[in-house]
Amino acid sequence: MRENLGPLAQIGYVVPDLKSAAMEWVSRTGIGPWYIAEQVPLDYFRHRGVQSNIEIGIATAFTGSLEIELIAQHNDSPSDYRNVLKRSESDIHHVCFFPQDYDLALASLLSENLEVLQEGAIHGIRFIYLLDPESRIIEMADLPQDARKRREARMAEAVEWDGSDPIRSR
């Protein structure tokens, strides 16, 4: 499994409010700047195999090559994000990988009997959340080359960040 995923790229948290959570990260860790998209247009989204019309926002920032992702759900449609907030959990929600060959990595994980928790696409970029036998969540996304280049630019920007303008629009 591991050889098909590539390096760990992201750690994700579900939060009730993107801006306040991002500012808490800035004040506690100095990580920033944060790029926030309050409304993320989903091409589709399925939770446990059933179509769901969730409305979400996402905030991201880098520390080295690791991306921190904050996700806020704005409605009550079925998703694991909603379930996490209902349980008042604040731990890591998922770890995410961006494999070079998404389909190969997905086939490898599914052959290990991981359960599909939820999946969707944003601007054509597929993502999937899988549950391992210990109920840990692994996300994968099929990032195209232009998105990988944006990640690299934001990593470089985070290294040079002077603490000003901590919240930015995506």
Residues 6+ apart with CB under 8 A from 9: 65, 66, 67, 96, 97, 98, 151
Domains in the chain: boundaries: 2-158
Residue 150, pLDDT score: 95
Residue 88, pLDDT score: 78
Model confidence over 41-99: pLDDT tens digits? 999 999 999 999 999 999 999 999 999 999 999 999 999 999 998 887 778 999 999 99
Residue 3, pLDDT score: 74
Distance of CA 70 to the CA centre of its chain: 7
Domain topology for 2-158:
2,3-Dihydroxybiphenyl 1,2-Dioxygenase; domain 1 (3.10.180)
- Whether residue 23 contacts residue 166, with contact meaning beta carbons closer than 8 Å, is answered with yes
Residue 151, pLDDT score: 96
User: Predicted confidence band at 117 (pLDDT cuts at 50, 70, 90)?
Assistant: very high
Kindly state the tokens that stand for 147: 């998105």
